[in-house]
Structure 1
Amino acid sequence: MSFFGLVWRVRDRELFWLMGLGIVARLLLVFAFPLLSDDVYRFIWDGLLINDGRNPFTHVPTYYLAAGEIIPGINAALYEQLNSPDYFTIYPPVAQAVFTLATWLSPESWYGAAVVMKLFLFVCEVGSLFLLYRLLTEFSIPGKAPSALPKSNLLLYWLNPLIIVEITGNLHFEGAMVFFLLLALYLLTRSQVARAGVAMAAAVASKLLPLLLLPYLIRRLWGRPFWVFSVAFGASLLLFFAPLLSTGFLDGFGSSLDLYFRDFEFNGSLYYLARAYGYYDVGWNQIAAFGPGLAIFAAVSILVLALLDGRSSWCSLPEGWLWAFVIYLLCATTVHPWYLSVPIVLCCFTHWRFPLVWSFLITLTYTSYASDPYEENLWLVGLEYAIVLAFAIYEFRGRKRLPAQSKLT
């Protein structure tokens, strides 16, 4: 409740103090080792491999211990901390570059490497704050007033406890993806199409999910700008991935993506309903069929919605992106709390607030780790999605569904 108290009807003179509060909260967490996520150990593992001249996509961690190869920093103690030692890494090149820098600066200290990575994400978050402020200065909502969207909307992201804890606290690279995504949007509003293509490529090279958002750019960039953006995006993406393109990369990376859709499951919604039907129908988990099927359904749905979207202004883009991400998450087999980072930041530019409700309810999923091995409470999962759905329906029925508009067209 304290979050809603802080962001409710903020006056201009209070805004900068609250922005400073968010900076302080993140800075304090930079020096705290991640406790609610063990992904950091895989980050360190990958970085140590690259610093030794090896491609982390070539072999799974188990291979190196079985082969008895001596690699500085790679040992049984680090291996025992990995949550997926039998799987290939799935982290794209921007993240891998940060892992490499962190373990190069602090090769013998897990804590030191984590601090370096967190400093990178802290800089990204401060950059996101600046971009949110600039974009909200220019975007406006029709029917509300001729003035810009309230700058205090940025606090919906900036002071959200989930964002602060998961990005800076637990070291998740959604923070980098959010920054580059906002940078791409900012550059697009200024008709800097080529630079926007580079920024969008960096977002994809941080996390692959922004690929789902590209269809919403077709109508807005159609003509020469579309080809300028496409060339800049494609060339930049190739440059980002080039250092990792070696023997075994496609097999390793492809295997990771395949396992993600066919093997991993956590806090799903539509997938859990499909899984329940599968148990009823044939008596076993059919994730190998339902996972990829739902992913294809999400991709096709997003493409169709993007092509049917008749809007062409940049200020309407965040709403389209928001729904694209929501569709993906509803179809995903795995929905961790930090996956909501993009919907939360995008809702700052719209009327929709159900992502904020979701950001608080999704923390209930941490109760799954109270037992060893972890066990999900499906009643809590059902409660989470039921309340989010109810609130979304309330917003559909009780609020104007007009998209955010801007003075810029």
Structure 2
Amino acid sequence: MLTYWKLHKFPILMVLGSMAFYYIFGYQLVREDFIRLITLVAALFFFLFKLMQLERWNFTFLLVAGIAFRAIFLFSTPNLSQDFYRFIWDGQLMLNGVNPYLFTPNELLSQLDASFPNKELLHQSMGSLSAKHYSNYPPLNQLLFTVAAFLGFGSIKGGIVALRLLILLADVGVLWFGKKILQQNNLSPHLIFWYFLNPLIIIELTGNLHFEGVMFFLFITSIYLLQKQQPIFAGLIYAMAILLKLVPLLFLPLFLPFLGLKKSAVFYASIAVSCVLLFLPFYTEDFAANYSKTIALWFSNFEFNASIYNTAEYVATTYFDAKPWLFIKTYGKIIPLLTIGIALGLLIFKRMKSIGGLLTGMLILMTGYYFITSTVHPWYLVFPIGLCLFTTYRFPLLWSATVFLSYYTYSQPDFKEYLPLLVVEYILVFGYMTYEILKNRNKTFHFR
């Protein structure tokens, strides 16, 4: 033990320091305290960088460190997001036999009896915006919410712990299958720790209970199964990723050049059948209308931490006297068309037949979508962070740090964004991305 301490003294001290910072993050921080938040983030990213320098080949050490960082949050209440209240609400509805897609919380509040645990607190805490809309979380998400509500025995704290354990297990799954894919393609297996130890991943997933990490676990498992020539099972798992979050729908066209026509048909058929079967328990005449209406809101009503959208809105409102509330609705109709255009453009690259080419294409598509959309919450970057590790690009790792600048918005009483900070965030990201494009222009669709 003494010898191990002498050999790993500084990394151990960094892990202990990180644990202390994660404790402050989980139990003492309020999101309005921007200076403290950004200072903690800067320190945690510094420790990540040093740990990867000193211990990147020490798998056991980094695995234990990553689990310890997550365990710190186990009994904390998320302090950067209130979405988990809606998760528990939807889970409790499912336990009571109520379809969460058919009624808004506002409609249901007066109808629920005293047997519905913490109904007033959950309704109030989820926020007025969430309470007046139908649930936008796909069926597999609802199943996990139900499991957490069941395991929580009606307690909000119990539900939080259950949600957290599900997310933690998914992160370990990402580590396991990500490492395997890296090894199968002659890449350094330690790269997966840039995901597993990334402060954004730990804070936004384990800390704030967002399910993008569970989605990425299912996605990466599907990619692994495709490499193992199992398109039917891969399609089933991929469908589960879609029905957890809809993001993987974006990537479906890109599998065609990678798999070829025959395997693609099997893969797509497996996805389609699995999605239909998993959606069936929720289907009613009102389901499609309510769900599509809620999803459409994300394209045409909300804005947060946008790059190109903020620029376009500034030009339109300053020089063309456009009304902001009308501009976002018009812009929201263009986003899907631009995203489809990027996907179709990627299909012309014949070199997207390797795993490296496929995942690079996905990274380009995902990045393009986030650059043009009007809403980019920090936890949305889970996919780019994970994808980039299988490519020659690393700019999402920089973005995972700079995106925390967007939390300045919550330190303002009117939640007004401070555009100069967003300019700093995106100049750094765009600049480093441009540098990497120029550096890697001759090997864009190959593993390094």
Distance 2:384 2:447 in 1: 20
Q: Please tell me whether the aligned partners of residues 55 and 62 of structure 2 are also in contact (alpha carbons under 8 angstroms).
A: no
Cα deviation, 1:246-273, whole Å, max 9, x if unaligned, reads 2321111111111111111101111111
Distance 1:156 1:309 in 2: 30
Distance 1:230 1:283 in 2: 42
Distance 2:98 2:82 in 1: 22
Instruction: Determine whether 1:291 maps to 2:329.
Output: no
Instruction: Indicate the residue corresponding to 1:232 in structure 2.
Output: 270
Instruction: Determine whether 1:101 maps to 2:147.
Output: yes
Q: Which amino acid aligns with 2:299?
A: F
Instruction: Determine whether 1:174 maps to 2:219.
Output: no
Flag the 1:349–1:9 CA change in 2: closer, same or farther, 3 A: farther
Q: Please tell me whether the aligned partners of residues 48 and 72 of structure 1 are also in contact (alpha carbons under 8 angstroms).
A: yes
Unpaired runs of at least 5, structure 1: 140-147
Distance 2:218 2:236 in 1: 9
Instruction: Indicate the residue corresponding to 1:161 in structure 2.
Output: 199
Distance 1:329 1:76 in 2: 35
The offset of 1:309, in angstroms, is: 4.3
Q: Please tell me whether the aligned partners of residues 216 and 307 of structure 1 are also in contact (alpha carbons under 8 angstroms).
A: no
Q: Map 1:302-317 to 2 at 5 A.
A: 302-317=343-358
Q: Which amino acid aligns with 2:230?
A: Q
Cα deviation, 1:274-323, whole Å, max 9, x if unaligned, reads 21122121341110000221232112212321343433122322111111
Partner secondary structure for residue 289 of structure 2: helix
Q: Map 1:63-102 to 2 at 5 A.
A: 63-65=107-109, 72-73=116-117, 75-83=119-127, 84-102=130-148
Q: Which amino acid aligns with 1:5?
A: K
Instruction: Determine whether 1:270 maps to 2:308.
Output: yes
Distance 2:144 2:280 in 1: 16
Partner secondary structure for residue 268 of structure 1: coil
Instruction: Indicate the residue corresponding to 1:143 in structure 2.
Output: none
The offset of 1:71, in angstroms, is: 5.9
Partner secondary structure for residue 220 of structure 2: helix
The offset of 1:150, in angstroms, is: 1.2
The offset of 1:404, in angstroms, is: 6.2
Taking CA–CA contacts closer than 8 Å with sequence separation of 6 or more, which of the two structures ends up with the larger relative contact order? 1
Q: Which of 33, 39, 46 is equivalent to 2:77?
A: 33
Q: Which of 251, 255, 262 is equivalent to 1:217?
A: 255
Instruction: Indicate the residue corresponding to 1:332 in structure 2.
Output: 373
Instruction: Determine whether 1:127 maps to 2:166.
Output: no
Distance 1:320 1:108 in 2: 44
> Which of 68-77 and 322-331 deviates more?
68-77
Partner secondary structure for residue 243 of structure 2: helix
Q: Which of 61, 64, 67 is equivalent to 1:20?
A: 64
The offset of 1:29, in angstroms, is: 2.0
Partner secondary structure for residue 68 of structure 2: helix
Q: Please tell me whether the aligned partners of residues 175 and 193 of structure 2 are also in contact (alpha carbons under 8 angstroms).
A: no
TM-score, normalised to structure 2, is 0.85
Q: Please tell me whether the aligned partners of residues 101 and 135 of structure 2 are also in contact (alpha carbons under 8 angstroms).
A: yes
Partner secondary structure for residue 416 of structure 2: coil
Flag the 1:107–1:316 CA change in 2: closer, same or farther, 3 A: same
What count of residue pairs does the alignment treat as equivalent?
398
Instruction: Indicate the residue corresponding to 2:8 in structure 1.
Output: none
Instruction: Indicate the residue corresponding to 1:145 in structure 2.
Output: none
Q: Please tell me whether the aligned partners of residues 88 and 256 of structure 1 are also in contact (alpha carbons under 8 angstroms).
A: yes
Task: Tell me the percent identity.
Answer: 33
Q: Please tell me whether the aligned partners of residues 55 and 61 of structure 2 are also in contact (alpha carbons under 8 angstroms).
A: no
Flag the 1:29–1:387 CA change in 2: closer, same or farther, 3 A: same
Q: Which amino acid aligns with 2:164?
A: K
Flag the 1:304–1:403 CA change in 2: closer, same or farther, 3 A: closer
Distance 2:272 2:300 in 1: 28
Q: Please tell me whether the aligned partners of residues 103 and 113 of structure 1 are also in contact (alpha carbons under 8 angstroms).
A: yes
Distance 1:301 1:109 in 2: 45
The offset of 1:17, in angstroms, is: 0.9
Distance 1:278 1:102 in 2: 45
Q: Which amino acid aligns with 1:247?
A: E
Distance 1:230 1:347 in 2: 25
The offset of 1:58, in angstroms, is: 0.7
The offset of 1:325, in angstroms, is: 0.7
Unpaired runs of at least 5, structure 2: 1-45
Distance 2:114 2:290 in 1: 22
Q: Please tell me whether the aligned partners of residues 10 and 152 of structure 1 are also in contact (alpha carbons under 8 angstroms).
A: no
The offset of 1:400, in angstroms, is: 5.5
Flag the 1:71–1:244 CA change in 2: closer, same or farther, 3 A: farther
Q: Which amino acid aligns with 1:21?
A: A
